Amino acid sequence: MGIFPEDNITLAAIEALKSSDYIFCPRTESGSIAAELVKKYIQKDIEFIDFPMRKDIKIDLSKILKPLLENKDVSFVSIGDPLFYSTFLQIMDAVKNYGIKVKVFPTITSFSFAASKINLPIALKDEGISVVPGTNLKLLEKAVNIFDNIVVIKPNRNFLEILEILKDNGFKVYIFENLGFENERVFVEDFPEGIGYLSIILAKRGVK
């Protein structure tokens, strides 16, 4: 299920968490943001599935599969929309292979949430929009030649290169970091030298 801090947690998702026999959250080397959010609403034990940031590491899903195969009700929590660049997708694929029914509680996507912070139209009339992972600079270079609206997901690793590509192609850049948290930041000018993992870029061509 998707969850955003404060802004978009649904009653249906909360009820599902309350009725679950097990609640799992993803955890990286730096901890679990999802778990911290869940604790605000549900007083239950939380199990963790480790998701190392390195791509070459295989995720061990046996912990979550065991109770599911015992017909227990299990919830897995992610931040943002669970069907959009989410750790949940690995869980869903594995679970479906066992014929287990999956119900998704969606939330708004991260770029819709970001745009709402400054009332920024994502696209107008017959415009198109491209969503590109910040790890794929070649794809970004293709996208800027086609689309007037660009969303860059997880831009922290190639941040300065991404800014250069967007600016060189006439885009106005909006940067959002740690949305929904106390340390939330929005940049339209005076960009920082670097940004954190929970960041997103929206860019529009021809905007002054």
- Same domain? For 152 and 181 the reply is yes
pLDDT at position 21: 94
pLDDT at position 72: 93
Q: Is residue 150 part of a domain?
A: yes
CATH, residue 168: 3.30.950.10
- Same domain? For 121 and 167 the reply is yes
Residue finishing a domain among 96, 118, 138: 96
Q: Is residue 105 part of a domain?
A: no
pLDDT at position 78: 85
- Same domain? For 114 and 92 the reply is no
Determine contact, residues 153/133, Cβ cutoff 8 Å: yes
For 22: left if phi > 0, alpha if psi spans -120 to 50, otherwise beta; the answer is beta
Q: Is residue 104 part of a domain?
A: no
- Same domain? For 119 and 178 the reply is yes
What is the model's pTM? 0.82
Backbone angles phi, psi at 191, to 5 degrees: -70, 145
The tally of domains found in the chain comes to 2
Q: Which helix (H) or strand (E) holds 168?
A: helix 159-168
Residue finishing a domain among 96, 126, 159: 96
Q: Is residue 101 part of a domain?
A: no
Q: Is residue 103 part of a domain?
A: no
Structural domain for 141, as ranges: 110-205
Residues in Cβ contact with 134 at an 8 Å cutoff, skipping those fewer than 6 apart: 140, 152, 153, 154, 155, 156, 157, 158, 159, 162, 201
Integer CA distances (angstroms), 33 to 38, 51, 198, in order = 9, 12, 10
Over residues 90-142, the pLDDT tens digits come to 889 888 889 999 999 888 888 999 999 999 999 998 899 999 999 999 999 99
Closest among 154, 164, 165, 166 to 195, alpha carbons compared: 154
Residue 157 neighbours by CB distance under 10 Å = 14
- SS3 at position 128: coil
- Same domain? For 175 and 140 the reply is yes
pLDDT at position 7: 45
pLDDT at position 33: 81
- Same domain? For 14 and 89 the reply is yes
Integer CA distances (angstroms), 146 to 63, 86, 130, 149, 170, in order = 44, 26, 9, 9, 13
Would you give per-residue pLDDT tens digits along the chain (208 residues)? 555 554 445 778 888 889 999 999 888 777 788 888 888 888 889 988 887 766 656 777 888 999 999 999 999 988 878 888 888 888 898 888 899 999 998 888 889 999 999 999 999 988 999 999 999 999 999 999 999 999 999 999 999 999 999 999 999 999 999 988 889 999 998 899 999 988 999 999 988 7
